[in-house]
Amino acid sequence: MGLLTILRKQKWKEKEARVLLLGLDNAGKTTILKRLLNENTITVSPTFGFQIRTINVEGLHLTIWDIGGQKTLRSFWKNYFESTEAIVWVVDSLDESRLLECKHQLHELLLEEKLLNISLLILANKSDAAGSLDAKTIEQLLHLDELKSRHYCILSVSAITGDGIQEAINWLASDLRESKMGILSN
Ligand SMILES: Nc1nc2c(ncn2[C@@H]2O[C@H](COP(=O)(O)OP(=O)(O)OP(=O)(O)O)[C@@H](O)[C@H]2O)c(=O)[nH]1
Ligand SMILES: [Mg+2]
């Protein structure tokens, strides 16, 4: 049994999971985190480093790392991959012009060996705004079919209205629970 598996088993016994909130700048990662924490979502500013917050979902203690998505910061993302069990990839579904860049970054990220067995939740954010693309369209434009054996979930959400946010975090908690159960029974 590898060290990583032992650490994961230990964390599951403690009902803890480490989640990275990633995506391009301006996608709405920090706003989503504020929504999850029931904080004011009106005042947000770009994240230049990272912030760590914890939430409890269905008895699971999630440590969420909200990491800045600006281009100059992306080379630092890899510093956070160790022991990560889930990625929440946030997409600005209003900004069609950046979906190619978004697709490229996501596919590059998923090549990382340390992220092979993570839970992957993709959030098409800003669904409240007129002209936003729906989850099905984003799924196609991000070429998620190329992810092959990797399972994922894509959902439309709005950090501003809160639509879909609870369902999204519930999916994550269930998926983490299932995958950790799998590890435990190995
Ligand atoms: N209409 C709408 N605007 C949103 C939503 N979520 C976030 N925004 C806006 O999008 C902008 C960027 O939000 P942030 O949460 O700072 O984005 P971020 O992904 O954390 O950006 P970085 O920290 O730079 O990586 C802000 O002006 C938010 O008000 C949403 O659901 N709907
Ligand atoms: Mg931010």
Asked whether residue 1 carries a pLDDT value surpassing 70, the answer given is no
Tell if the pTM clears 0.90, that is, is over it: yes
Q: Is 43 annotated as a binding residue?
A: no
Q: Which residues have a Cβ under 8 Å from the Cβ of 124 and sit 6 or more positions away?
A: 91, 93, 132, 133, 134, 135, 138, 154, 155, 156, 157
Distance 45 CA to ligand 2 centre (A): 7
Catalytic residue from among 70, 105, 140, 166 = 70
* Greatest pairwise CA separation for the chain in angstroms: 51
Ligand 1 pocket mutation, candidates 21, 25, 26, criterion most atoms within 8 A of CB = 26
pLDDT surpassing 80 at residue 146: yes
Q: Please, which pLDDT band fits residue 140 given cuts at 50, 70 and 90?
A: very high
Rounded to 10 deg, the angle between the 29-36 and 165-185 helix axes is: 90
ipTM of this predicted structure: 0.99
Structure tokens that stand for 88 in this block = 């929440």
Residues with CB under 5 A from ligand 2 (ion): 29-30, 47
The binding-site residues of ligand 1, defined as CB within 6 angstroms of any ligand atom, are 23, 25-31, 44, 46-47, 68-70, 90, 125-126, 128-129, 158-160
Residue 29 is assigned to a ligand binding site: yes
Local structure of residue 74 (DSSP, 8 states): G
